[in-house]
Amino acid sequence: MISRSDDLELLLSVVDCGGFSPAANQLNVPVAKVSRAIQRLEKQLGVTLLQRTTRRISLTEEGKLFVTNIRQGLQQLESAEEQLRLRMDQPKGRLRVDAATPFMLHQLVPLLGEFRDQYPEIHLELSTSEGIIDLLEKRTDVAIRIGHLEDSSLHATLLGRSRLQLLASPDYLQDRGYPASPQKLQEHQLLGFIPPTRLNKWPVGEGLEIKPDLAASSGEVLRQACLSGEGIGCFSSFMVQQDIDDGRLIRILQDEMQSPNPREQVQAVYYRNTALSSRINAFIEFLKPRLQLS
């Protein structure tokens, strides 16, 4: 028997992914299954929800109203189910976690085995996003964010602080030398982020906004470039401490770094209007003592 809520979940996936095929790929289901779900909903409702062209799909006015309402409805349904689990005091169910690629690789992935052994009834779904995401739109339960949190609709639990470091490889420094001051950094090859450029404001000296010679959207890409001798980068300790300990990367201008600063904060965030579920609480409390941030 096909669940009505399953069809609604498929509709949201089509809207969020921008098409039938991307939604089917993300959910690992046949495109035909997605198409049939939308057809069933439109037949039951007696309206057209999606406008289809050869290039894209878009919501009709009726579709926009319907999608807004079902997002809220599905969230309430999930909250009701979670309240029952809370009463049973047995953390279980799907937990959707999002983090930037470096944090996912260097901090979360090494802890997965222990977490799954401790909470075998919690089924993790992991996603990586290099920028700020809409938790509701992406249907994410909890996201790990680095830096100051501006969205007041989110609840945040501070997991710790991770100091920023200016780093370069030994080969780069042997070839180009050490910068003697923050101002001298501008004479070097600098690694930074593509827009938005807030991450290109380095907390060194009085503060330095760089124009990167090599820019990327991912901190992990910049780390690999730094290891390969492509220049000087600014990294959170949680992703480079092992490189420093092993001598693959060298600290630069360590005494000139501003600390503490807002970019050091590592936080778990979730919506304020969502009851703190047992699975989210279990995940956060598990992480706190095990993260290697400094």
Q: Give the per-residue pLDDT at 181.
A: 94
What's the Rg (C-alpha) of the chain?
23
Q: Are 156 and 181 in contact (CB under 8 A)?
A: no
β-pairing, 214-216 vs 191-193, is parallel
- The full DSSP string for 243-294 is HHHTTSSEEESGGGB--S-GGGEEEEEEETTS---HHHHHHHHHHTTT----
Q: Give the per-residue pLDDT at 138.
A: 66
Q: Give the per-residue pLDDT at 1.
A: 41
Q: Any bridge partners for residue 29, and if so which?
A: none
Q: Which helix (H) or strand (E) holds 17?
A: helix 4-17
Q: Give the per-residue pLDDT at 110.
A: 96
Q: Give the per-residue pLDDT at 135.
A: 60
CA neighbor of 291 nearest in space, from 103, 164, 126: 103
Q: Are 227 and 169 in contact (CB under 8 A)?
A: yes
* Tens of each residue's pLDDT in the chain, 294 residues: 446 778 888 888 888 888 888 888 888 889 899 889 889 988 988 999 888 876 778 889 988 999 888 888 877 777 777 666 655 567 888 899 999 999 999 999 999 999 999 999 999 999 988 766 556 556 788 999 888 776 666 788 899 999 999 999 999 999 999 999 999 999 999 999 997 778 899 999 999 999 999 999 999 999 999 999 999 999 999 999 999 999 999 999 999 999 888 889 999 988 755 555 788 889 999 999 999 998
Q: Give the per-residue pLDDT at 115.
A: 96
Planar angle of CA 126, 74, 268, nearest 5 degrees: 40
